[in-house]
Amino acid sequence: MPGSGKGYCFLSLTFSVDFCIVYNYIVIEGNIGAGKTSFATRFAEESDARLILEQFEENSFLPKFYEDPARYAFPLELSFLADRYQQLKTQFTTTDMFKPFTVADYFIFKSLIFASRNLEQLEFGLYSKLFTIVSSVVPKPDLIVYLYLNLDNLKKNIQKRGRPYEQNIQYEYLDKIQNGYLDFLRQQSDLRVVLIDTNGIDFVERDSDYQWMKDAILRNYPLGMHRIQKPGLLPGLY
Contact 28, 104 (CB under 8 A): yes
Q: Spot the catalytic one: 96, 105, 175, 183.
A: 105
Mark out the alpha helices in the chain (DSSP H runs).
36-47, 61-67, 69-92, 110-118, 121-135, 151-161, 171-186, 207-217
Q: Which residues contact 233 (CB under 8 A, 6 or more apart)?
A: 197, 199, 200, 201
Q: Are strands 224-229 and 192-197 parallel, antiparallel or unpaired?
A: parallel
End-to-end CA distance of the chain: 33
Name residue 28's beta-bridge partners.
145
Q: Which amino acid is at 145?
A: V
Name residue 192's beta-bridge partners.
224
* Residue 215 annotated among the catalytic residues of the structure: no
Closest-CA residue to 165 (of 34, 77, 68): 68
Residues forming the active site: 105
